[in-house]
Amino acid sequence: MADKLIIVESPAKANTIKKFLGGSTKVIASMGHIRDLPKSKLGVNIEKDFEPEYINIRGKGDLIKSLKKEAKTAKKIYLATDPDREGEAIAWHLANILEEDKSKITRVTFNEITKSAVQKAIKEPRDIDVNLVDAQQARRVLDRIVGYKISPVLWKKVKRGLSAGRVQSVAVKMIVDREEEIENFKPEEYWNLYADLKDKESKKIFEAYFYGKEGKKQGIHSKKEIDEILKNLEKAKYIVSEVKKGEKKRTPAPPFTTSTMQQEASRKLGFSLKKTMAVAQGLYEGVKIPEHGTVGLITYMRTDSTRISEEARKVAKEQIIKNYGENFFENRYYKTSKDSQDAHEAIRPTYIEIEPDSIKDSLTKEQYKLYKLIYNRFMASLMASAVFNTMQVNIKANEYDFKANGQSIKFKGFMTLYVEGTDKQQEEEEKMLPDIKENQELKLEKLNSKQSFTEPPSRYTEASLVKALEEKGIGRPSTYSPTITTILERRYIEKVQKQLYPTELGKIVNKLLIENFKDVINVEFTAKIENEFDDIAEGKDDWKKMIREFYGPFLLEIERVEKELEHVELVDEVSDVVCDKCGRMMVYKYGKFGKFLACPGYPECKNTKAIIETIDVPCPKCGGTVQIRKTKRRRNYYICENNPDSCDYISWNKPKPGEKWNPEEAEEVKKTTRKSTTEKRKTSKKKK
């Protein structure tokens, strides 16, 4: 008989905690949620004021029996699930299912799995926070109502089995909207002009860029304009009109929140959101380290706070001074955003003295990479600013102005350890200029003009979509990864070379939802709902009142749409393609990979055909029609309809009118597509 029973979610977490506690304490895992809404029906009793109809999750019967048995013999039960709304809800479900005396059950939370944090939590138990539970219930019930009421509309109009989600549909809308921006983008011509100038004394050559005319900034928009400027510069003298020297500081980025960790792991490590969260979960729950045993290496990884505890600051200060010197430490405090729940700290190492390289052999490759990223980001956040010597030079050439900027690092500070990545290419940190003086004449070596065109906005990556969702107030730390994972799995979007594209199915579903449910599937409504969940968590609002206020107008919307679709049947669009097996006219269907042709005589005739997409630019080699195809990994490539019979054109890049084709570029495409075909054949043989 155990004096104390501690219930956590996972065996890994249980193993880490066990070593911190005495022999009379038993630690077991619930394996995540044990109760949830049923999948087969709505599971929310509308008539009984939206009461959730929870059931035990299938397959967890034996586990529940075991939990109840252990609870019966324990003197005290500690529910130590994760320190967020989801963890609070799991604790609440456990308390209800154990059917024990409520005075015997208590709740404990810790932001890090360390001996001091766990022991402190056990000494300071509390009641289950019903407000946090209600906020989680509100999210679960609202999302269930939206999904189960809207999805039948998709079944009737598009395809059975499709589903809609409140946050997921907004994310799809953002990706579709961005794609439309790209498709509708009209590029505008502009020119850049650069002068390669030589300092006669040092003989150093540096580059200056064209700024404008007579002190005013001026853009160059046509060849006519650039030709006129070049003509006027033919006999110009390049005189230094002003030299400004100064200093600038660069401050480090704050320690990680869930969102910034996901973004940086995507940029620097190439991790998907799902992979980042899975690896972080393992680091949080515990890793076996020689001389330390099983230890949780990072604090809780679902957080939107940049707060650092005073204890962690103190240890970090000692470590920074020891490794780098006193002038490298700076005691920084970071502002947390107004929407942050700030329930716990930023993501940081729990044992600051355990440096990443010292435990590299105990971690998987992915764990090491992510731990090093988290460790270095945290340490850098408490280090001194980097200092740059800067130099700005203004140069006159007749009536035109050129500028050149240079900088050199005076003190690296935090950059010794870590520099934050960006979605765009980083500029060079050091760009030295010669020691130029005012009124000095420079020798022109060469003028370089370059024609360019404005670029459309970039497609979202997982990282930039998370950033956009966070900025718009959509979702919270626990929802970013499942949201994007869900719409990828539903094939509403696809990922090609990190970029997110809407599939044809995604576009159709989005169009239908926007046309019929624009009050629910929009950014403003979704952000407003998130704030209401926060109010419930803080005890400022009642969750059922919030659902009631939402449900009335939503039900009217559903009834209106159902009435409009009352006489609409799901009829497949007929194509002009004849089935070559039975002679029927084939129809358009939608599958997980998008639109395809199928025989309407199914199941007698099971013939299907892929839809070949073409573009309106002729083949650069033979003038034939260019087709768009996809590799096994869903990457687009472009191939001539006459390949391989009389033309070998194939490319990753969409051809442009008048463009010449480079045959060498085709080799990589051929290898990749051949590999995909070989893998398909192997898979086909295995199935047989």
Q: Which of the residues are catalytic? A: 300
Q: Quick check: 541 and 535 in contact, CB under 8 A?
A: yes
Contacts of 33 (CB under 8 A, 6+ apart): 57, 89, 90, 93
Peptide linkage before 603 cis (omega within 30 of 0): yes
DSSP 460: P
DSSP 378: H
Longest dimension (CA), the chain: 97
Residue 205's φ and ψ, nearest 5 degrees, are -105, 135
Tokens 């192997």 belong to residue: 682
Q: Quick check: 132 and 88 in contact, CB under 8 A?
A: yes
Secondary structure (DSSP) of 276-303: HHHHHHHHHH-EEETTTEEE--B--S--
Secondary structure (DSSP) of 149-163: HHHHHHHHHT-TT--
Cα distance between residue 189 and residue 322, in whole Å: 55
Helices and strands (H and E) in the chain: how many: 17, 27
CA 612: distance to chain centroid? Answer: 31
Peptide linkage before 644 cis (omega within 30 of 0): yes
State the pairing for strand pair 189-198/650-651.
Answer: unpaired
Cα distance between residue 575 and residue 369, in whole Å: 51
Region of residue 475 (left: phi > 0; alpha: psi -120 to 50; beta: else): left
Which residue type does 257 have? Answer: T
Cα distance between residue 491 and residue 158, in whole Å: 14
Residue whose C-alpha is closest to residue 654's, from 631, 624, 620: 620
Tokens 């084709």 belong to residue: 661
Estimate the crossing angle of helix 543-564 against helix 504-516, to 10 degrees. Answer: 100
Rg (C-alpha) for the chain, rounded Å, is 31
Secondary structure (DSSP) of 99-132: T--GGGEEE---SS-SHHHHHHHHHS-B---HHH
CA 405: distance to chain centroid? Answer: 34
Which residue type does 117 have? Answer: A
Tokens 């269907």 belong to residue: 589
Q: Quick check: 125 and 106 in contact, CB under 8 A?
A: yes
Cα distance between residue 370 and residue 271, in whole Å: 9
Q: Quick check: 167 and 483 in contact, CB under 8 A?
A: yes
Q: Quick check: 42 and 145 in contact, CB under 8 A?
A: yes
Q: How many CA atoms lie within 13 A of 687 on its CB side?
A: 6
Question: Which secondary-structure segment (H or E) carries 175?
Answer: helix 166-184
Cα distance between residue 22 and residue 4, in whole Å: 9
Taking the CB of residue 231, how many other CB atoms lie within 10 A of it? 8
Residue whose C-alpha is closest to residue 352's, from 309, 302, 415, 306: 309
Region of residue 518 (left: phi > 0; alpha: psi -120 to 50; beta: else): alpha
Q: Quick check: 192 and 212 in contact, CB under 8 A?
A: no
